[in-house]
Amino acid sequence: MSDISIPGVNSKYSKMVDDLVEVEKTKLTNLEDELQTIKDEKGYWLNINRQVSTLQTAAKSLYGFENPFTNKMVDSSNERILTATADRDASFSQYSVKVIQTASNDRFLSGQLSEDFRVPPGDYTFKVGEEEVSLRYRGGKLSDFAERLNERGRNLVQATVVKNRSDSQVILLEAVPTGSANRLIFSGDSEQFAKDIEMIRPIKTDSRDILPASDKIINQSETAGETFSIQGEEIVLSHGARLQIPLDKPYPVEAGSVLQFSYKTTQISEDSLKVIPPPDPTVPQPPPASLDGVTVNSLSSVVDLPPWENPPLPERIDDFNILSVGDGSGNYNAPPLSDSDDYKVMTVQLKDLVDTLSSLTLKNNNTYRNISIKDIQVFNPTVVADYEAVNPADTARDAVLEFNGIDVVRSTNDVDDLIPGVNLSLHRASDDEVDLDIKPDAEAAKEALIEFVYKYNNLMTNILVLTTDNEEIVNEKEYFTDEERNAALEALGKLKGDMTLRQMKDRLQGIMASPYETSEGNALSLLAQMGISTNETPGGSLAAGKLRGYLEINEDKVDQVLQSKILGVRDLFGKDTDGDLILDSGVGVSLDNYLRAYSQTGGILSLRSDRLDNAIDKKDEEITDYQSYLEDYEQDLRVKYGNMESTLNQLQSSSSYLDTLSNNNNGNN
């Protein structure tokens, strides 16, 4: 049986049709290649656009309001005592600060409680400063009470439960704000609760003022003359003064008890101690003598006196051990004072010296310094209202600093209003002064410069890759990944004849090499003078890569200039030269102004992208139209060859029929 042939489906002419269509598809392939070329070109320009935008952003960051050259940092000579940060408004300067006392908060610890201890129901109220928090509690476990109080108290009162032993626990209640004005006060059911858990107890001793009344002072001075005076509540001690102030009754010293007073020192000049020379002796004038009408006047008496010599001034003695405390059996020196033109507060921890306070002794051995003391008090700072802490973990107090010889008091350890633009963070008290040096943040500035140069070199590399066909440009980039290297080789020379990119490259190089006006004058008017140029790598011959326009950074030179001339560096990237408050000169300003014509909406790169988009749309239309043509062309061929094949099949069928008839007729004859 012969093969069945269906015209147009499995026609023997089908391959001929496919071959003819394939020939016509050559133009479609060319159109698709042209479309891909346009899309590749658009990709190259989009990449250029991105790199121009990032370089422009980097340039703006070097001269705009937030430029890194006005950033400040603060070096502390002892960061364990004091650290600081500075904002952009701070002045370059140096300061010395002594942390006399850090601020703290009230922290009360309970006695030891059993594991199954339960907090009774009640209305628990806690007051800190002028604010208070209340908790209505139905009763429950200690940990549950602490959790509920923390939810309610948040920024005012916090509770912590600690399992101090395997079978017991304690609770710590603390005021969150620091400062002497933020004492933790228990009221309502919380006061009885605090007493029950041995957190507070009634006051055992009261506070008292030690008034410098004359009837209480025992003058023990050995120097003749007046050595002290009482002016209101102030005692002024001159050289040689030694006074004893007995207490009416002994004061039992408990943990936390302090002696506090205010004092200042007054310097005495040497001239004030010099003796005024006595007046010269006066000799009476003898009367004249007369004899026989002749008068003889007497001559004035002459007394030869030795030259006046001022008695020698006393030897200078500097002794700041002014105060000692007595317990009835002996005296014990309190910490020494220091020079202060204004009154400053001195706090002495009595428990470190005596168990019972019975008297105070004041003395002044200084020859050129008077000491003034007032507001002498003995008290226990852990006392709040009518009770005191049993186990005070800490007591609310203010931070005290000495700044330029002045005592500064704040309620917090973060002090942001003492030095303009500087925030101080106090960590611990010390007798040592901490030196603060406010200086440029050179590291941040250098990082911004490195980022700027990196983005500039990236753009320059891309321009060189697209406009030249030298593979050395790609091979020089050792930091390229394999993917980046292959992409660069693929793009090599694709925009070789483009004048826009060539002009951009030349202009960028010109901006980087041009001089600009700065506050440092000719000492800093070029990037090369601060260590940024096309040939900053020391030693060796001039490599071909150095001639391509890339920038290099000499970090040592950059560091040196940033430390000594950072304001000049700021001017180098942006400066107002005509006083109109608009930056009009500098590397950053020039780059930004030049690149804006490329990067802005409707700019050169935007128009180039729009033109390529139109070309892509037009090419897409051509391809779509030609694809339709190919479909019609193929259909026409298949119809024509199908018809032809059908006709041939009919002719062959007719021929076969005639041949059969002829053979039959011949057989019958």
List the beta strands (DSSP E) in 300-339.
323-326, 331-333
In terms of Cα–Cα distance, which of 235, 255, 257 is closest to 245? Answer: 235
Residues in the chain: 669
**Based on the domain organization, do 351 and 479 belong to the same domain?**
no
Pick from 78, 82, 64, 80: nearest CA to 422: 82
Is residue 225 included in any domain, yes or no?
A: yes
Helix (H) or strand (E) segment spanning residue 478: none
Cα–Cα dist 6/646, whole Å: 9
In the beta sheet, which residues pair with residue 226? none
The answer to whether 424 touches 95, Cβ cutoff 8 Å, is: no
Do 357 and 499 have their domain in common? Answer: no
Could you read off the pLDDT of 496-511 as tens digits, one per residue? Answer: 889 999 999 999 999 9
Say whether pLDDT at 7 is over 60. no
Give the Cα separation of 114 and 27 in Å (integer).
94
Q: The domain containing residue 530 runs over which residues?
A: 40-68+443-574+581-606
Query: Distance between CA 194 and CA 173 in Å, rounded?
Result: 10
pLDDT at position 2, please?
Answer: 40
Q: Does residue 479 form part of some domain?
A: yes
What CA–CA distances, in Å, run from 450 to 444, 538, 586? Answer: 10, 18, 17
Give yes or no for residue 543 having a pLDDT over 80. no
- Kindly state the tokens that stand for 433: 């002064």
Per residue in 407-441, pLDDT tens? 899 999 999 999 999 999 999 999 899 999 999 99
Q: Are strands 323-326 and 331-333 parallel, antiparallel or unpaired?
A: antiparallel
Q: Would you state the pLDDT for residue 500?
A: 92
Mean pLDDT of 44-70: 93
Q: Among 185, 202, 219, which residue terminates a domain?
A: 202
124-148 mean pLDDT: 94
**Per-residue model confidence (pLDDT) at position 43:** 92
CA distance 374 to 364: 15
Range in 64-73, 348-357, 412-421, 643-652 the model is least confident about: 643-652
What is the rounded CA–CA span in Å between residue 40 and residue 615?
12
Q: Are residues 52 and 154 in the same domain?
A: no
Say whether pLDDT at 279 is over 80.
no
> What total number of domains does the chain contain?
3
- Model pTM score: 0.67
Q: Hey, which residues does 415 pair with through a beta bridge?
A: 424
Q: What is the pLDDT, as a whole number, of residue 6?
A: 47
Same-domain check for residues 480 and 360: no
Asked if 112 and 196 sit in the same domain, the reply is: yes
- Give whole-number Cα distances, 462 to 120, 484, 487, in Å: 77, 11, 11
Is the model's pLDDT at 1 over the cut of 50?
no
Domain boundary among 182, 202, 222: 202
Whether 456 and 565 map to the same domain: the answer is yes
Beta strand extents in 115-223 (DSSP E only): 118-119, 122-128, 131-137, 140-141, 157-165, 168-175, 184-188, 200-202, 208-209, 218-219
The neighbouring-strand residues paired with 667 are none
Higher-confidence position of 217 and 577: 577
Determine how β-strand 391-394 pairs with β-strand 107-109.
antiparallel
In the three-class reduction of DSSP (H, G, I as helix; E, B as strand; rest coil), residue 104 is classed as strand
Q: What Å distances lie between residue 396 and 128, 150, 180, 257, 567, CA to CA? A: 10, 20, 5, 14, 44
Is residue 168 located within the same domain as residue 196? yes
Closest CA to 180 of 431, 400, 429: 400
Could you tell me if residue 278 is inside a domain?
no
Q: DSSP letter at 224?
A: S
The answer to whether residues 199 and 391 touch, using CB atoms and an 8 Å cutoff, is yes
**Is the predicted pLDDT of residue 472 greater than 90, yes or no?**
no
Contact status, residue 163 vs residue 171, Cβ threshold 8 Å: no
- Tell whether 240 and 327 lie within a shared domain: yes
pLDDT at 583: 93
Report the alpha-carbon distance of residue 286 to residue 289 in Å, rounded. Answer: 9
Is residue 178 one of the residues assigned to a domain?
A: yes
pLDDT in tens, 626-636: 888 888 888 88
Q: Judge if 240 and 329 occupy the same domain.
A: yes
Q: What is the pLDDT of residues 17-55, one digit of tens each?
A: 777 878 888 888 888 888 998 999 999 999 999 999 999
Give the lowest-confidence range in 18-27, 158-167, 453-462, 643-652.
Answer: 643-652
Q: What is the C-alpha to C-alpha distance for residues 56 and 48, in angstroms, rounded to an integer? A: 12
Q: Is pLDDT at 11 greater than 60 in this prediction? A: no
Residue 283 placed within a domain? no
Q: How many CA atoms within 13 Å lie on the side-chain side of 142?
A: 21
Is 415 part of a structural domain of the chain?
no
- Predicted pLDDT of residue 545: 57
**According to the 3-state scheme, what is the secondary structure of 579-614?**
CCCCCCECHHHHHHHHHHHHHCCCCHHHHHHHHHHH
> Can you tell me the distance from the alpha carbon of 67 to that of 445, in angstroms, rounded to the nearest whole number?
8
Residue 646 inside a domain? The answer is no
Tell me if 592 is assigned to some domain: yes
Give the pLDDT band (50/70/90) at residue 146: very high
Statement to judge: residues 241 and 353 lie in one domain: yes
Indicate if 466 and 558 belong to the same structural domain.
yes
- In this structure, the answer to whether residues 229 and 337 fall within a common structural domain is yes
Query: For 646-656, how does the pLDDT look when each residue is reduced to its tens digit (9 = 90+)?
Result: 777 777 777 77
**Where does a domain end: 352, 373, 394?**
373
Give me the mean pLDDT over the 606-610 stretch: 90
Cβ-count burial of 500 within 10 angstroms (0-12 exposed, 13-18 middle, 19+ buried)? middle
